[in-house]
Amino acid sequence: MQKGNIGVTTENIFPVIKKFLYSDHEIFLRELVSNAVDATQKLKTLSSIGEFKGEVGDLTVHVSLGKDTITVSDRGIGLTAEEIDKYINQIAFSGANDFLEKYKNDANAIIGHFGLGFYSAFMVAKKVEIITKSYRDGAQAVKWTCDGSPEFTIEDTGKAERGTDIVLYIDDDCKEFLEEARISSLLKKYCSFLPIPVAFGKKKEWKDGKQVETDEDNVINDSTPLWTQKPSELKDEDYKKFYRDLYPMSDEPLFWIHLNVDYPFHLTGILYFPKVKSNIELNKNKIQLYCNQVYVTDSVEGIVPDFLTLLHGVLDSPDIPLNVSRSYLQSDSNVKKISTYITKKVSDRLQSIFKNDRKQFEEKWNDLNIFINYGMLTQEDFYDRAKDFSLFNDTDGKYYTFEEYKTLIKDNQTDKDGNLIYLYANNKDEQYSYIETATNKGYNVLLMDGHLDIALVSMLEQKFEKARFTRVDGDIIDHLIVKEDKKNEALEADKQEALSSIFKSQLPKIDKAEFNVTTQALGENATPVMITQSEYMRRMKEMANIQAGMSFYGEMPDMFNIVLNSEHKLVKGILVDKDKECAAAVAPVQAEMDEVNKQRNELKKKQEGKKDEEIPTAEKDQVNELDKKWETLKTQKEGIYADYAAKNKVVRQLIDLALLQNGMLKGEALNNFVKRSLELIK
């Protein structure tokens, strides 16, 4: 028997492995099984080139559980005593502590860096044995034993078959790994697609109401998964089935892309566009990353562009360096190339479906747009490709490319300054009347009801030249698309003021909402009262909801405009009626106000050109007095209008109808409206 010390420079690497890799203990199984698979593949290669002339035999890798052991056995190339010394004993370990400190949360990095695959066994085992016999002619079987200290022993042993058994004597605090179910699920997670059959125990079947073992190996993996096969030999159903196997709970995918590159890097895989029922379901960690069919991780952040992390599927590449930290990954040139390649493939695929089967593309647009919009928003080069096939959807359900849409609205929706105005609605039902008003004018209204549309609109305004997006309820339609300089407002100032007082006094109190009343000549056939909400403020608030650091806007109340149509019969009627009802009461107040105003203007005129300190205090006080008086009179006048308005059911009814049309009439106010309506019908 030979004794020795494992060639590490740190005192004892095993406590380090245990301590730092604690959270990832389970990967020991992946490491050992993939070593077994590697050794088996090497044997297959040697056999195929004639270097190994013996019988290859059944190459299945076996994982088995004993009372306190886990054994991984293969019939691969095996190891000679010299090879054990070279590959197992002398692990290079320079700068170990620094490295471990830096990457203590990233087991993959540590294991990759040191080639510690095999040593990860010590994360769960107190003692490990390697019983191995090389494929070489006349090789002597050897047994290596190490109990977790840097000391090991190596001795000759009897072993009939070529290959390696790794026996782990499981630590007392790792007993969970002796449970069949646990190992089963780990094998499923890490080994499902290894290229060599891996068996865990025997297949079971039901017999006389019990599960009994059969003679057949329980092979847990598919050694030729779909992504390793030739796309030309696969049918749609194969892709769908593979998807179902990977994501049993998901709906059928929309599209898929089979990736297959050999140069300048190796990458295979299948990416699926999932059908997303709601945005809540969007899940970033669905793509599985493999390295030569060995599962590595389901977090592909930093490897594929952010928007593509929303896709499902598998990527397999030996060229993605896994032994580095995530932050480093993004600057790796291979990773950059891979990321660019995937982006291009995805856009090519979308482009080709768009070109060859536009109908299908449109049908799936509602599910697809979340990916495409996200991509366009976050990835400049994707925008440049996607702008040719990304679609607008209008409120009639028609689809247009950006270019087609521009052509459609160019003649009719260009305003007097040459800006192209894109009208949109985000809710067809709630904004029905505004959409109707716009379409009656021959305008087209887009439907933009996606979660990313607010952000998209802002981006497109920057990308498109001389273009503005505005929601249909942003203002009266002639103000949204201003075709000629504004007509003079027909109504005199005092009438406007009276109308404003009358309507303002009857507006219900709505939490976090403020109203401003204006009058516009909208034509006698247009609605008497409408509510608009300024595009700018609304957009700021919406952005605040999705973006951090804008809470200032989020806190602001919603600002609404109540627009009275001075040309509508009912509004005109109120003006006439108000004159009749209020004139007598208003006249003396108004006369007094005019007088106050006159006096104030005279005083102000006298003070013109004087510095503040040159004006006598008495005079200043006088101005203040007049101002106060004027305010009091104004309030008095408004009170007269308010009293009148309170008795005028038409005013309340018009306000409520406008609120109702915007889904803003609720609770008690709605109830009052219904009662009042019934009274009016009687």
Q: Which is nearer to ligand ADP, 134 or 565 (CB)?
A: 134
- Given the rule CB under 6 A, which of 7-15, 111-119, 213-221, 545-553 is the region that contacts ligand ADP? 111-119
Give Cβ neighbours of residue 45 (< 8 Å, ≥ 6 apart): none
Residue for token digits 């050992």?
32
Answer yes or no whether residue 268 interacts with ligand ADP by CB under 6 A.
Answer: no
Q: Is 226 in the site for ligand ADP (CB under 6 A)?
A: no
Using only the alpha carbons of the chain, give its radius of gyration: 39
Local structure of 424: helix, strand or coil: strand
Q: How far is the CB of 37 from ligand ADP (least distance, A)?
A: 9
Q: Does 195 bind ligand ADP (CB under 6 A)?
A: no
- Output the smallest distance, CB 79 to ligand ADP, in A: 5
> Which one of residues 35, 347, 379, 532 is an interface residue with ligand ADP (CB under 6 A)?
35
Which one of the spans 109-117, 154-162, 326-334, 568-576 is the region binding ligand ADP (CB under 6 A)? 109-117
Among 20, 21, 28, 74, binds ligand ADP (CB under 6 A): 74
CA dist 454 and 535 (Å) reads 11
CA 341 to chain centre: 21
Cβ-based nearer residue to ligand ADP, 77 or 372? 77
Is 36 a residue that touches ligand ADP (CB under 6 A)?
yes
Instruction: Tell me the closest approach of the beta carbon of residue 309 to ligand ADP, in angstroms.
Output: 28
Which stretch in 32-40, 169-177, 280-288, 473-481 sits in contact with ligand ADP by CB under 6 A? 32-40
- For residue 190, give the nearest of 225, 224, 221 by alpha carbon: 221
Q: Which residues contact 202 (CB under 8 A, 6 or more apart)?
A: 213, 214, 215, 216, 217, 218
Nearest to 254 by CA among 313, 309, 184: 313
For ligand ADP, the closer CB: 76 or 302:
76
Q: Which stretch binds ligand ADP (CB under 6 A): 31-39, 176-184, 434-442, 475-483?
A: 31-39
Token reading at 18: 């245990």
Phi/psi for 361 (5° steps) reads -60, -45
CB of 32 to ligand ADP, least distance (A): 7
One of 28, 103, 118, 443 touching ligand ADP (CB under 6 A): 118
CA dihedral 48, 51, 57, 63 (to 10 degrees): -100
Closest approach, Cβ 217 to ligand ADP, in A, equals 18
Q: According to the binding rule CB under 6 A, does residue 296 interact with ligand ADP?
A: no
- In the complex, minimum distance from the CB of residue 40 to ligand ADP, in angstroms, rounded to a whole number: 8
Q: How far is the CB of 209 from ligand ADP (least distance, A)?
A: 40
Smaller CB separation from ligand ADP, 292 or 527? 292
Q: Does 115 bind ligand ADP (CB under 6 A)?
A: yes
Residue 88 or 270: which CB sits closer to ligand ADP? Answer: 88
79 binds ligand ADP (CB under 6 A): yes
231 forms part of the interface with ligand ADP (CB under 6 A): no
Per-position DSSP letters for 126-162, written without gaps between them: EEEEEEEE-SSTTPPPEEEEE-SSSEEEEEE----SS
For residue 169, give both structure tokens: 């004597």
Cβ 84 to ligand ADP shortest distance, Å: 8
Interface with ligand ADP (CB under 6 A), residue from 76, 195, 197, 313: 76
Mapping DSSP onto H, E and C, the string for 159-182 reads CCCCEEEEEEEECHHHHHHHCHHH
Q: How far apart are CA 66 and CA 169, in angstroms?
A: 9
Q: Report the Cα 115 to chain-centroid distance in Å.
A: 36
Residue 219: count other Cβ atoms within 10 Å of its Cβ.
14
CA atoms within 13 A on the CB side of 64: 13
* Residue nearest to ligand ADP according to CB distances in the complex: 117
Task: Report, in Å, the least distance between residue 42 CB and ligand ADP.
Answer: 8
Whose CA is closest to 289, among 300, 279, 281? Answer: 300
* Residue 39 within binding range of ligand ADP, rule CB under 6 A: yes
Q: Does 37 bind ligand ADP (CB under 6 A)?
A: no
Q: Are 32 and 121 in contact (CB under 8 A)?
A: yes
Stretch binding ligand ADP (CB under 6 A), from 115-123, 306-314, 337-345, 347-355: 115-123
Least Cβ distance, residue 142 to ligand ADP (angstroms): 12
- Taking the least distance from each CB to ligand ADP, the nearer of 77 and 596 is 77
Q: Which of residues 144 and 239 has its CB atom nearest to ligand ADP in the complex?
A: 144
End-to-end CA distance of the chain: 111
Show the tokens assigned to 244.
Answer: 């179902």
| 640/144 Cα distance (integer angstroms) | 103
Residue environment code for 201-213, b if the CB has 16+ CB neighbours within 10 A, otherwise e: beeeeeeeeeeee
Tell me the site size for ligand ADP, rule CB under 6 A.
16
**Sequence letter at residue 488:** N
Say whether residue 117 binds ligand ADP (CB under 6 A): yes
Using CA atoms, how far apart are residues 428 and 473, in angstroms rounded to an integer?
Answer: 12
201 is a contact residue toward ligand ADP (CB under 6 A) = no
Q: Is the Cβ of residue 2 or residue 214 nearer to ligand ADP in the bound state?
A: 2
Among 27, 52, 154, 164, binds ligand ADP (CB under 6 A): 164
CA diameter of the chain: 124
* 3-state SS class at 5: strand
User: What's the closest the beta carbon of residue 76 comes to ligand ADP, in angstroms?
Assistant: 5
> Quick check: bond before 264 cis, omega within 30?
yes
| Shortest spacing between CB 111 and ligand ADP, in angstroms | 8
Element (H or E) spanning 535, and its range? helix 535-546
The answer to the question of residue 645 lying near ligand ADP (CB under 6 A) is no
Does residue 77 touch ligand ADP according to CB under 6 A? yes
Least CB distance to ligand ADP at residue 212 (A): 31
In the bound complex, what is the minimum distance in angstroms from residue 166's beta carbon to ligand ADP? 6
Interface residues with ligand ADP (CB under 6 A) are: 31, 35-36, 39, 74, 76-79, 87-88, 115-118, 164
